[in-house]
A = this chain, B = another copy of it.
Amino acid sequence: LRPDKNSRQVTFSKRRAGLFKKCSELAILCGARVAAVVFSEAGNAFALGSPSMEAVLRRFDDGNDAGALVPAAEDDDREALEELYRAREATAEQVASEIKRMNTIGDKVVKAQMGRRYWWEADVEALGEAELPEFARALDRLRANVRRHADKLRS
């Protein structure tokens, strides 16, 4: 069970995949929003957000500062999200029996949504040249709003 020091790389990749899967399951099955950032020992960065890094980081956002950063369709995303939640609750049983080729609920939802390119899995993976600036902007928004929330609590 303990990873051999020789297989550190393989173990990291597998466990990172497992962790991200857990993130998605928590988000999908429990209606939570999850953001995770992982730095490998070698220094590579990986990130995942569910539903989407931005949607998670946008949680405290009220849209008054650092504007023009969200690509578009903030309310559309939210509506699609809520509709998905509603659909999931209403037809959970049917979905469970319909799709037989997938073994687990987690896999079902994840795979289905990956195929359909829903809001899900429009996530960040392996922050690269293109993603980093956007991630930075999202963090900027999160920072501002967390701070605002903190001030609200303090007052």
Which A residues have a C-beta under 8 Å from some C-beta of B? 1-3, 5, 8, 11-12, 15-16, 18-19, 22-23, 25-26, 29-41, 56, 59, 89, 92, 96, 104-105, 128-129, 132-133, 135-136, 139-140, 142-143, 146-147, 149-150, 153-154
A2 touches B150 (CB 8 A): no
Q: Which residues of B contact A136 (CB under 8 A)?
A: 143, 146-147, 150
Q: Are B39 and A36 in contact (CB under 8 A)?
A: no
A136 to B51 CA separation, bound complex (whole angstroms): 21
Instruction: State in angstroms the CA–CA spacing of A153 and B133 once bound together.
Output: 10
6 further interface pairs, Cβ-Cβ under 8 Å (given A18-B22, A143-B143): A12-B30, A15-B25, A135-B146, A139-B142, A139-B146, A140-B143
